[in-house]
């Protein structure tokens, strides 16, 4: 199997125009980068699913080869806390112990149908 090297050449110049729009060069660069990432993620997910399926079928829990490590842990149980039920049944205690913390705003970068503006 031939290994291909992915070369990423970032555009030069301003990222955002005076009109607060991403420049055409950068928008094409980011679009193609995110599209490539999506394709890679899909390929990795497909490989991961096939690998773990076959490992499970063969009773293998750990593989280490050629820089790839894969393992399947044993099924287990865990405790969980039903916060909503506790809040409904014990509103005073809930209010006493709940902490409100500041959280940074979510940042997203996604691709959609490409339009050539």
> What is 14-63 written as a DSSP string?
-SB-TTS-B-HHHHHHHHHHHHHHHHHHHHHHHHHHHHHHHHHHTT--EE
pLDDT of residue 69: 93
Query: For the chain, what percent of residues have pLDDT higher than 90?
Result: 68
Q: Which residues contact 51 (CB under 8 A, 6 or more apart)?
A: 63, 70
- The pTM (predicted TM-score) of the whole model is 0.69
**Cα-Cα-Cα-Cα dihedral of 94, 99, 105, 108, to 10°?**
-50
Give me the residues paired with residue 65 across strands: 68
What are the tens digits of pLDDT across the range 40-98? 999 999 999 999 999 999 999 999 988 889 999 999 999 999 999 999 999 999 999 99
């Amino acid at each position: 199997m031939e290994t291909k090297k992915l070369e990423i050449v970032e555009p030069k110049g301003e990222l955002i125009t005076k009109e607060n729009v991403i420049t055409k060069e950068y928008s094409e660069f980011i679009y193609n980068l995110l599209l490539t990432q999506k394709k890679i993620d899909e390929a990795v997910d497909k490989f991961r699913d096939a690998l773990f399926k076959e490992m499970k079928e063969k009773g293998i829990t750990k593989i280490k080869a050629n820089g790839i490590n894969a393992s399947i842990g044993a099924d287990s149980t865990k405790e969980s806390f039903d916060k909503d039920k506790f809040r409904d049944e014990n509103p005073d205690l809930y209010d006493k112990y709940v902490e409100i913390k500041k959280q940074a705003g979510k940042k997203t970068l996604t691709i959609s149908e490409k339009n050539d503006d």
